[in-house]
Amino acid sequence: MGVSTSSPEKGISVVTVDFPPVNALPVQGWYDLADAVRAAGRDPEVRCVVLTAAGRGFNAGVDIKELQRDGTGTHRALIGANRGCYEAFAAVYECEVPVVAAVHGFCLGGGIGLVGNADAIVASDDATFGLPELDRGALGAATHLARLVPQHLMRALYYTSRTATAAELHAHGSVWKVVPRDGLHDAAMELAREIAAKDGHLIRLAKAAINGIDPVDVRRSYRFEQGFTFEANLSGTADRVRDTFGKEA
Bridge partners (DSSP) of residue 163 are 130
Single-letter amino acid, residue 108: L
- Domain 2-182+202-248: CATH superfamily is 2-enoyl-CoA Hydratase; Chain A, domain 1 (3.90.226.10)
Sorted by where each begins, the domain ranges of the chain are 2-182+202-248
Bridge partners (DSSP) of residue 10 are none
Single-letter amino acid, residue 25: L
Q: What is the pLDDT of residues 163-184, one digit of tens each?
A: 999 999 999 999 999 999 999 9
pTM above 0.85, yes or no: yes
Q: What is the pLDDT of residues 132-154, one digit of tens each?
A: 999 988 899 999 999 999 999 99
Integer Cα distance of 197 and 226 in angstroms: 38
Interacting residues of 194 by C-beta distance below 8 A, sequence separation 6+: none
Q: What is the pLDDT of residues 109-127, one digit of tens each?
A: 999 999 999 999 999 999 9
DSSP secondary structure code for residue 59 in this structure: B
